[in-house]
Structure 1
Amino acid sequence: PLTWASSKWNGVVDSSKHIFCNRSLNMKSIVAVGFDMDYTLAQYKPDTFEVLAYQGTVKKLVYNLGYPTDLLQWTFDWKYMIRGLVLDKRRGNVLKMDRHKYVKVAYHGFRELPREERMATYGNTLSREAYDEPDYALIDTLFSLAEAYLFAQLVEYRDSSPSKLPAKEYDFYAQIYKDVRSAVDLCHRDGTLKQAVSLDPGKYIHEDPLLVPMFKMLRDSGRMTFLVTNSLWDYTHVVMNYLCGKTGNEGVPRDDEWLSYFDLVITGSAKPAFFADSNRAPLFEVDIETGMLQNTDNGTPLMQVCDPFGLETQKKKNSQHCRAFQGGGVAHLHKLLAIEAGAQVLYVGDHIYGDILRSKKQLGWRTMLVIPELESELELLKQNLKLQKEFRKFRRKREELEDLLQRAKWKLRLEHQNEEELLTRAKSLQQDRDSIRDLQRQTHKDLHQKFHSVWGQLMKTGYQNSRFAHQVERFACLYTSQVTNLCYYSPDKSFRTTEDFMPHELEFAEF
């Protein structure tokens, strides 16, 4: 594949592969680049993996938690939900809000709340909601989309057939969400999902031929690389082999070569707790040959009673490409890689809270968020430039007409000459304003539906950035559609932000 390090590199990067910058970052200051695995290095196929997760959760609800067998006939529309939504557990609603936490789109199950009902519920209150736990749940990972969809289905089911899903307590919608989460956790604990993926990785995970060139380019530039994942060693070993071209099929057996692309691997990390300074979780070393765990003293191998001089332990350590561990905390990682300052680390992940917020706020690490949906979002933005221009034109025209209409009404109230002329003028302006307002609303609705028929643009809610976009802006130094977009940039590149504008500056900053 053609990358920045290729001899035939032409310097052209497609817009869908751009890396966008919220805070300036000079890669020369980065000594270690870390990666999450699930949904970062390993991009799961929504039409197979998320459907598998959904079906597994439904079965747990029916067979483990006593839900009606009707659920087994349900299907999952994996395109319906998007990231950045918020579940109102008490009311059974799904919300999309802007960066100021104003709810602009709300559904009860799959029924859209009329504006009046939405405003009465979320707008006209004496105090502002924080929209955080325990009453709300954030849909901030791609893996959460299936459980959000199932929650909406169960809300509809409870409303239409209350006798089939009797309330166990007063907050029955909250109980439904709690049961869905319990079912999801059961799927993880019994290995239902990971066993299926391990048997046929190609069915559930996208191949990316640029992963290995990216690792090589970073290591050739002198950077250390590390992997921190919540997945345990056995699953990590299968997935990383697949991503690096070792499918495990006949003729392409799995091996340890993928470890040569890293200086350190930490599995079972229990992020986000891993990033807490107060984390005192024990660190175990993984025996790569057997997968067994060995005790360590903060990363230093403990002498085995059958090897009093530590010769076998040292021989194994010297022969390994890199060391693999399970558990521990960020202090162990800093020690093992000799990291002197948080700003020396760039961490790449997909989870705004589990990967990005904690590592950024608590450690000062530099961060890059992977947003796979961004690729299609950019393409749709490009396709709908004309519609966006029309929308802005109608909005400006509406403001002009409203100013003129208000002026005419003011004069009509205070001046008693030419009343008939002023009244005719006001009526004409009102008709023009109403006509432009209807055009603006219809254009905005058309634009909204071009991106997603229900939720609209991922990064926008109404005229404002969405809450998800606001979080990306606050906590991610960089963001991009795929982790391997790093291949299209120099390992020493200095990423610079675009210029910020206040509304008053935009008067003089038209491009």
Structure 2
Amino acid sequence: MAYHCFAQCNPSISHHLRQNQLFLKCLVFVNRSLAMEKIKCFGFDMDYTLAVYKSPEYESLGFELTVARLVSIGYPQELSSFVYDPTFPTRGLVFDTTYGNLLKVDTYGNILVCAHGFNFMRGPDIREMYPNKFIQRGDMDRFYILNTLFNLPETYLFACLVDFFSNCSRYKSCEKGFKDGDLFMSYKSMFQDVRDTVDWVHIKGSLKEKTVENLEKYVVRDAKLPLLLSRMNEVAKVFLATNSDYKYTQKIMTYLFDFPHGPKPHRPWQSYFDLILVDARKPLFFGEGTVLRQVDTVTGRLKIGTYTGPLHHGIVYSGGSSDIVCDLLGAKGKDIVYIGDHIFGDILKSKKRQGWRTFLVIPELAQELHVWTDKSGEGSHDLDKAKITHDMDMCYGMMGSLFRSGSRQTLFASQVMRYADLYASSFINLLYYPFSYLFRAAHVLVGHLSPTAMTRTTMKRRRRRRRRSRLEKGRCDFKWCMLREEKMG
């Protein structure tokens, strides 16, 4: 009987499973050891970190606005019937702008899954397009990595568009695009239209406006947030560095800290931060950055001139760079833990360019852990391991797990391991650890130093010693016999 079925019949087992899942959901996972008592500053991104957007409501909103914009610039009216399906996309997929395929790859560029629209291709078909089922991941002109949570709606939209143009009788499918009479549109051109449209929706469109009109529908509010930040304030400095503008940041942050029935006295959200930076323009922020300016919090406009003064509590700044943050807060790279959701814009760049310690927020991890604990015991007596693996992958969604495909790690998983010192489904999990805690990573050794290799080497040495010992004993016995025969003779 499957483990979860037994659990349903046995209340004590079911309770144990629920407790185990709750425990895993609250964990912070460690890639590199980090002593919390050495941290002098905690930095935060806002979108999808402090402000967690509700899924799939927020992605559906972004998808609808993007489709509406595409139709307005000349795409077929039929696209308006598309409805966002959260079970299809996952982060970390790669879009091939030449063939219009969505690819799930490992860190080396080996293809794990390939979908053309909603058609999942088999091995022989994949090899026709990609010899050795491999891509040059560094070819950024051709391959675009959809790494962020903001990318989920466009990931699904790419699949919708390719599927629509491949199956609509008005269009003729070609290897690198589609034709409508004498008109040809390449997948690369389609990709650029979608990218431009997504940027327009986020910057000039009504996405932010519609979000703030109904914050309760689109934004998660957690009463533990003020508690965690107030505890951080007691042991370190706290700063906010977001790409969002001041007016949007003000509305989102006010909502996040607005708990009229919570503990008193109530504090304005600005009081939890020693430094507030909007319009950060990450990842540029972690390099040369931009001019540091002061925001007029009454009008929301920027004051003229570059800010050159000392750090003042309560002042909101625009632009700047990670170097300026270190100077204003009096901290060095490894004194800072930066917490964000963007593997490239928040984590990779802050780690590579500044040496900041990093905490990656992966909201999907809660579902990943739930599936893993709930389904991993199923089919333990079934000998068809391929079927077990496939069925388990489907529990994550149509594209499978964010972290693996079968037994192989995805590109996203390898980036998490390489650049995130800590990661969890939510940074709120830090609330369950003391600020003197040592997050200790397991030792990872190269092959020849691994315990298995060392054990094998030791066993081989012991076998050689035993053989030598037996040979030497045999020689001694032979010599003793010869001497005995000589004496008797």
TM-score normalised to the size of structure 1? Answer: 0.77
Aligned residue runs from structure 1 range 142-157, under 5 A: 142-157=149-164
Aligned residue runs from structure 1 range 242-253, under 5 A: 242-245=255-258
Structure 1 residue 120 displacement after superposition: 3.0
Q: 1:79/1:132 Cα in 2 relative to 1: closer, same or farther (>3 Å)?
A: farther
Query: Hey, what's the Cα distance between the residues in 1 that align with 2:386 and 2:22?
Result: 36
Structure 1 residue 131 displacement after superposition: 5.3
1:459 corresponds to which residue? Answer: 403
Q: 1:387/1:498 Cα in 2 relative to 1: closer, same or farther (>3 Å)?
A: farther
2:270 corresponds to which residue? Answer: 259
Amino acid at match of 2:326: H
Asked if 2 retains the 8 angstrom alpha-carbon contact of 1:284 and 1:295, the reply is yes
Amino acid at match of 2:76: P
Asked if 2 retains the 8 angstrom alpha-carbon contact of 1:83 and 1:458, the reply is yes
Q: What whole-Å deviation, never above 9, does each CA across 1:8-37 have from its counterpart, x for those lacking one?
A: xxxx98111110110111112211100000
Amino acid at match of 1:200: N
Output the aligned Cα RMSD: 2.7
Match of 2:59 among 38, 50, 67: 50
Aligned residue runs from structure 1 range 347-358, under 5 A: 347-358=338-349
Q: What whole-Å deviation, never above 9, does each CA across 1:82-115 have from its counterpart, x for those lacking one?
A: 1111111111101112233210111001001111
Query: Hey, what's the Cα distance between the residues in 1 that align with 2:86 and 2:56?
Result: 7
Structure 1 residue 462 displacement after superposition: 2.6
Match of 1:40 among 45, 49, 69: 49
Query: Hey, what's the Cα distance between the residues in 2 that align with 1:236 and 1:246?
Result: 18
Q: 1:499/1:331 Cα in 2 relative to 1: closer, same or farther (>3 Å)?
A: closer
Matched, 1:219 2:230: no
Query: Hey, what's the Cα distance between the residues in 2 that align with 1:390 and 1:214?
Result: 45
Match of 1:480 among 405, 421, 424: 424
Asked if 2 retains the 8 angstrom alpha-carbon contact of 1:90 and 1:171, the reply is no
Asked if 1 retains the 8 angstrom alpha-carbon contact of 2:351 and 2:358, the reply is yes
Amino acid at match of 1:266: L
Query: Hey, what's the Cα distance between the residues in 1 that align with 2:440 and 2:320?
Result: 34
1:141 corresponds to which residue? Answer: 148
Q: 1:374/1:158 Cα in 2 relative to 1: closer, same or farther (>3 Å)?
A: same
Q: Secondary structure at the match of 1:104?
A: strand
Q: 1:379/1:282 Cα in 2 relative to 1: closer, same or farther (>3 Å)?
A: same
Matched, 1:188 2:133: no
Structure number with bigger Rg: 2
Asked if 2 retains the 8 angstrom alpha-carbon contact of 1:102 and 1:123, the reply is no
Query: Hey, what's the Cα distance between the residues in 2 that align with 1:104 and 1:38?
Result: 30
Q: What whole-Å deviation, never above 9, does each CA across 1:153-205 have from its counterpart, x for those lacking one?
A: 11112222374675798671111111111111111222401111111211100
Structure 1 residue 121 displacement after superposition: 2.3
Query: Hey, what's the Cα distance between the residues in 1 that align with 2:67 and 2:138?
Result: 27
Range 287-296 or range 368-377, more displaced: 287-296
2:97 corresponds to which residue? Answer: 89
1:3 corresponds to which residue? Answer: none
Query: Hey, what's the Cα distance between the residues in 2 that align with 1:275 and 1:490?
Result: 29
Match of 1:443 among 384, 388, 393: 388
Matched, 1:108 2:116: yes
Query: Hey, what's the Cα distance between the residues in 2 that align with 1:13 and 1:132?
Result: 42
Asked if 2 retains the 8 angstrom alpha-carbon contact of 1:285 and 1:299, the reply is no
Query: Hey, what's the Cα distance between the residues in 1 that align with 2:112 and 2:432?
Result: 37
Asked if 2 retains the 8 angstrom alpha-carbon contact of 1:103 and 1:123, the reply is no
1:422 corresponds to which residue? Answer: none
Structure 1 residue 225 displacement after superposition: 0.3
Q: Secondary structure at the match of 1:178?
A: helix
- Could you tell me which runs of 5 or more consecutive residues in structure 2 were left unpaired when the two chains were aligned: 1-20, 172-177, 261-265, 456-489
Structure 1 residue 79 displacement after superposition: 2.5
2:474 corresponds to which residue? Answer: none
Query: Hey, what's the Cα distance between the residues in 1 that align with 2:353 and 2:389?
Result: 40
Range 80-89 or range 286-295, more displaced: 286-295
Percent of aligned pairs with the same amino acid: 35
Q: Secondary structure at the match of 1:58?
A: helix
Structure 1 residue 300 displacement after superposition: 2.1
Amino acid at match of 2:330: A
Range 32-41 or range 88-97, more displaced: 88-97
2:28 corresponds to which residue? Answer: 19
Matched, 1:199 2:213: yes
2:242 corresponds to which residue? Answer: 229
> How many residues are paired up?
424
Asked if 2 retains the 8 angstrom alpha-carbon contact of 1:449 and 1:456, the reply is yes
Structure 1 residue 219 displacement after superposition: 0.5
TM-score normalised to the size of structure 2? Answer: 0.81
